[in-house]
């Protein structure tokens, strides 16, 4: 079993064997922040399941930092048979990024930013929206590395409710988290394979029209417990429950 204490760095690809070069921001972090030296080891990941334990052969610090690596062992981790796609409503301040961080650490396989009606944050189609999406994607990459995940969740372009309902029709199960409904997550029959869409609303809640639209697309509205969770924590709590209730953690 590979050493789980070794630092993880992301690369565009992970060769099967031989030598490779780590460059860019990941190399600058390895050389300047982690201060890796010749002879030390790290885990190289392509974010899509490919991983390798490598030994550092040479370090070039600075703006054009590079690490020359020799691959000692290369392997692939398959994605779970049951995937969870989180549709996360846009949240104000840094709560959206916190939601992405926690959901990624808890195992989300993809994250869909949702322009819910009551979302305070508004992502424009121009530069501001692009920057916000880039922050979510950067957060997902960092959280995946922190959690030592072999797969970095894809953060898609933002969608509206109609687009989200269309996505729902392609899923094995659609779960909408609501605090004031009678059904509980444990009341659902959960699949062993396929894709679950987990919908998390904004701080102001999901509107009746949105819930109606999603239910028409096959969604089930359920609650997690007796308390009300923030939009930034709800997905992570639900992912933990799904991990325990399905084969995802086996």
Please report which residue ranges of the chain form alpha helices under DSSP H.
24-28, 95-105, 127-146, 161-168, 208-216, 231-245
The residue written with tokens 């840094």 in the block is 94
Tens digits of residue pLDDT in 82-134: 999 999 999 988 999 999 999 999 999 999 999 999 999 889 877 889 999 99
- At residue 32, the 3 state secondary structure works out as helix
CB neighbour list of residue 234: distance below 8 Å, 6 or more residues apart:
99, 177, 200, 224
Residues 105 and 184 in one domain: yes
Number of domains in the chain: 2
Tell me: pLDDT of 244 over 90. Answer: yes
124-133 contact pairs (CB < 8 A, 24+): 129/158, 132/96, 133/157, 133/158
Domain span including residue 158: 82-249
No. of H helices and E strands in the chain?
6, 11
Residues 88 and 30 in one domain: no
Tens digits of residue pLDDT in 30-85: 999 999 999 999 999 999 999 999 999 999 998 899 999 999 999 999 999 999 99
Q: Of 35, 57, 76, which one is at a domain's C-terminal end?
A: 76
Residues 12 and 89 in one domain: no
Please report which residue ranges of 116-168 form alpha helices under DSSP H.
127-146, 161-168
Q: Of 60, 76, 92, which one is at a domain's C-terminal end?
A: 76
pTM: 0.92
Q: Whole-angstrom Cα distance, residue 63 to residue 23?
A: 10
CB 8 within 8 A of CB 150: no
Residue 30 structure tokens? 């390895």
φ, ψ of residue 3 to 5 degrees: the values are -65, 120
Residues 179 and 229 in one domain: yes
CB 80 within 8 A of CB 109: yes
Q: Output the pLDDT for position 36.
A: 95
Tell me: pLDDT of 140 over 90. Answer: yes
Tens digits of residue pLDDT in 158-213: 999 999 999 999 999 999 999 889 999 999 999 999 999 999 999 999 999 999 99
Q: Whole-angstrom Cα distance, residue 122 to residue 73?
A: 45
């Amino acid at each position: 079993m590979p050493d789980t204490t070794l630092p993880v760095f992301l690369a565009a690809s992970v060769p099967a064997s031989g030598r490779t070069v780590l460059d860019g921001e990941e190399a600058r972090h390895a050389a300047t922040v982690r201060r890796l030296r010749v002879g030390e080891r790290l885990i190289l990941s392509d974010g899509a399941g490919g991983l390798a334990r490598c030994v550092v052969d040479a370090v070039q610090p600075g703006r054009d930092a590079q690490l020359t690596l020799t691959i000692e062992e290369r392997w692939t981790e398959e994605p779970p048979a049951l995937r969870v796609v989180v549709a996360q409503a846009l949240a104000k301040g840094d709560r959206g990024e916190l939601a992405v961080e926690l959901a990624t650490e808890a195992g989300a396989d993809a994250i869909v930013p949702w322009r819910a009606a009551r979302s305070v944050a508004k992502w424009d189609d121009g530069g501001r929206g692009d920057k916000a999406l880039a922050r979510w994607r950067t957060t997902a990459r960092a959280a995946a590395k922190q959690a030592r995940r072999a797969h970095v969740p894809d953060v898609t372009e933002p969608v509206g409710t109609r687009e989200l309902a269309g996505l729902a029709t392609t899923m094995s199960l659609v779960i909408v988290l609501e605090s004031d409904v009678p059904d509980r997550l444990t009341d659902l029959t959960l699949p062993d394979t396929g894709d679950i869409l987990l919908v998390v609303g904004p701080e102001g809640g999901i509107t009746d029209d949105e819930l109606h639209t999603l239910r028409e697309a096959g969604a089930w509205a359920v609650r997690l417990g007796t308390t009300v969770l923030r939009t930034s924590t709800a997905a992570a709590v639900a992912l933990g429950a799904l991990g325990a209730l399905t084969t995802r953690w086996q």
